[in-house]
Amino acid sequence: MPSTHRGLSRTKTRPYLRESFGFSPQELRTLRALKTPARIQKFIDELTYQYADTAWSPRRVLNERKGHCMEGALLAAAALRVNGHPPLLMDLEAVRDDDHVIALYRERGLWGGIAKSNFAGLRFRAPVYRTLRELALSYFEHYYNLRGERTLRAYSRGVHLSRLDSQHWMTAEEDVWCVPEALIAAKHYALVPHAVARALPRVDRRSFGAGKHGWVKH
């Protein structure tokens, strides 16, 4: 498929440039400046990590300059969309731990991920994965709770956020709980057999410490 930017699929006419998606001109300039997945990741890394029971829209995150993992993924999906790519999210489901949300992108037919996390290893993934399962498995060794237990168990199919446009997921001032509801409702696929999961060893101390590099306390 024709591409004008690092192998990401786009249309030749770039119709997305004529759409505001409800954002202000200033908000659009900020998002459109994030022209690559790596730039998007850097931007959401620089947001203050917050512990909060919220579901802020990308507009709220832009205005507040802070957010947690789902809100970072939402902002990443919005940035991808205004630059001409589909707004896709994937849910990573855990036990005895929080779920994690990844914004998906594709280059030359291979999947990558953009994510905000308090754990160093649960963030960016380069586009080298042939399937969403491969991408999800790349997070397995880095996904553990504060007891050192490996907690990742399943991943969801990609959720296309355009189906939630009527609920203004990109620009609403109120919390957009429709997004986590859609992620929870999406079909999930197990990553490891139950018998294997029961016998998993805990993460070693060195890996545990590396994953907490840059950790933001409550």
Q: What is the pLDDT of residues 14-65, one digit of tens each?
A: 666 678 999 999 999 999 999 999 999 999 999 999 999 999 999 999 999 9
**178 in a structural domain:** yes
Which contacts qualify for 208-214: CB closer than 8 Å, 24 or more apart? 208/144, 208/148, 210/120, 210/121, 211/119, 211/120, 211/121, 211/122, 211/142, 211/144, 212/119, 212/120, 213/120, 214/120
Q: What is the pTM of this model?
A: 0.91
In angstroms, the CA 128 to CA 29 distance is: 29
Residue 8 lies in a domain: no
In a domain, 218, yes or no: no
pLDDT of residue 15: 62
Paired tokens of 18 = 């004529």
Domain for residue 49, yes or no? yes
Domain, as residue range, for 58: 15-211
Collapsing DSSP states into helix, strand and coil, what is residue 188?
strand
Residue 75's pLDDT band (boundaries 50, 70, 90)? very high
Higher-pLDDT residue of 49 and 10 is 49
For the domain that residue 22 is a member of, what is the CATH number?
Answer: 3.10.620
φ, ψ (nearest 5 deg) of residue 33: -70, -15
